[in-house]
Amino acid sequence: MSRIVFRIHAVKRMFQRRISEEDVKQVLATGEIIESYPNDIPYPSKLLLGWRGNRPLHVVAADNTDNDETVVITVYQPDPHEWEAGFARRKPR
């Protein structure tokens, strides 16, 4: 796995939401990519869904292939009002 870099925003959200670095690493290692954002700047990014026990987690991360880094942008527990059962698809608006 590439080196993991946590943006300040991600660290703040992890603290606020009681999501550990280990939780994020687990999602990055075993999670499912549920959305891709190939045109994001400065690096293509993706939304991953992973589980820590019964807790679903979403991690937005970007791949900086030039430096072999995965940049963690934000982390959150998906809202069941916004996501369908299983948390892999957004509900229609």
Strands (E), the chain: 3-6, 32-37, 45-52, 55-64, 69-76
In angstroms, rounded to a whole number, what is the distance separating the alpha carbons of residues 50 and 66? 26
The confidence band for 7, taking pLDDT boundaries of 50, 70 and 90, is very high
pTM: 0.94
Q: What is the pLDDT of residues 15-54, one digit of tens each?
A: 999 999 999 999 999 999 999 999 999 999 999 999 999 9
Q: Please, what's the b/e burial string for 20-44 (b: 16 or more CB within 10 A of its CB; e: otherwise)?
A: eeebbbbbbeebeebeeeeeeeebe
In angstroms, rounded to a whole number, what is the distance separating the alpha carbons of residues 31 and 34? 9
In angstroms, rounded to a whole number, what is the distance separating the alpha carbons of residues 40 and 62? 8
Kindly list the domain boundaries of the chain, sorted by start residue. 3-76
- The class of domain 3-76 in CATH terms is alpha beta
Beta-carbon-side half-sphere exposure of residue 55 (alpha carbons within 13 Å) = 14
The confidence band for 1, taking pLDDT boundaries of 50, 70 and 90, is low
In angstroms, rounded to a whole number, what is the distance separating the alpha carbons of residues 76 and 61? 12
Q: What is the pLDDT of residues 55-86, one digit of tens each?
A: 999 999 999 999 999 999 999 999 999 999 99
